[in-house]
Copies of this chain bind each other. A is one copy, B any other.
Amino acid sequence: MQNSSVSEKDIFIEVIEKYKRVRRQSEILCEPLLKEDFNLQAMPQVSPTKWHLAHTSWFFETFLLCEFMAGYKAHHPLYEKLFNSYYVAINTPFPRAERGLLSRPTIHEVYEYRRAVDDSIIKFLSHVTVSKQSVVASRIELGLNHEQQHQELILTDIKYNFSRNPLRPAYCKKSVFKEKKTAERGFEWIEHKAGVTHMGASTTNGFCFDNETPHHRVLIETFCIADRLINNAEYLEFIEAGAYQRSEFWLADGWQKCQEGGWQAPLYWQRIDGRWHEFTLYGLQLLNPCEPVCHVSFYEADAYARWQNSRLPTEAEWERAAKLLPVEGHFICDGVLHPRAACANGSGPRQMFGDVWEWTGSAYAAYPGFITPSGAIGEYNAKFMSNQMVLRGGSCISEREHLRATYRNFFYPEDRWQFSGIRLARSKSHAHHG
Interface flags for A70-86 (1: CB within 8 Å of B; 0: not) read 00000000100110001
Instruction: Contact check, B169 vs A251: say whether CB atoms are below 8 A apart.
Output: no
Is A145 positioned at the interface, with any CB of B under 8 Å from its CB?
A: no
Is A261 positioned at the interface, with any CB of B under 8 Å from its CB?
A: no
Is A36 positioned at the interface, with any CB of B under 8 Å from its CB?
A: yes
Instruction: Contact check, B103 vs A34: say whether CB atoms are below 8 A apart.
Output: yes
Instruction: Contact check, B219 vs A103: say whether CB atoms are below 8 A apart.
Output: no
A376 to B407, CA, bound (A): 38
Interface flags for A250-264 (1: CB within 8 Å of B; 0: not) read 111111000000000
Instruction: Contact check, A429 vs B89: say whether CB atoms are below 8 A apart.
Output: no
20 contacts between A and B (CB under 8 A): A36-B38, A37-B104, A39-B39, A39-B40, A40-B103, A86-B252, A88-B247, A88-B248, A89-B247, A94-B166, A100-B100, A104-B167, A219-B219, A248-B378, A252-B384, A253-B386, A311-B366, A314-B368, A362-B365, A387-B387
- So how many copies of this chain end up in the complex? 4
A94 to B314, CA, bound (A): 36
Is A164 positioned at the interface, with any CB of B under 8 Å from its CB?
A: yes
- Residue in B34, B218, B372, B429 whose beta carbon sits within 8 Å of that of A106 in the complex: B34
Is A98 positioned at the interface, with any CB of B under 8 Å from its CB?
A: yes
- Residue in B36, B89, B219, B369 whose beta carbon sits within 8 Å of that of A107 in the complex: B36
Contact A196/B219 with A165-B103, A383-B252 known, Cβ cut-off 8 Å: yes
Instruction: Contact check, A251 vs B164: say whether CB atoms are below 8 A apart.
Output: no
Q: Which residues of B contact A37 (CB under 8 A)?
A: 103-104
Q: Which residues of B contact A36 (CB under 8 A)?
A: 35, 38-39, 103-104, 106-107
Interface flags for A395-418 (1: CB within 8 Å of B; 0: not) read 000000000000000000100000
* B-contacting residues, A47-64, CB 8 Å: none
Is A216 positioned at the interface, with any CB of B under 8 Å from its CB?
A: yes
Q: Which residues of B contact A167 (CB under 8 A)?
A: 78, 82, 102, 104-105
Is A101 positioned at the interface, with any CB of B under 8 Å from its CB?
A: yes
Shortest Cβ gap from A188 to chain B (Å): 21
Is A363 positioned at the interface, with any CB of B under 8 Å from its CB?
A: yes
Instruction: Contact check, B361 vs A363: say whether CB atoms are below 8 A apart.
Output: no
Is A130 positioned at the interface, with any CB of B under 8 Å from its CB?
A: no
Shortest Cβ gap from A24 to chain B (Å): 23
A102 to B34, CA, bound (A): 12
Interface flags for A231-260 (1: CB within 8 Å of B; 0: not) read 000000000000000011011111100000
Is A427 positioned at the interface, with any CB of B under 8 Å from its CB?
A: yes
Closest chain B residue, CB of each to CB of A167: B104
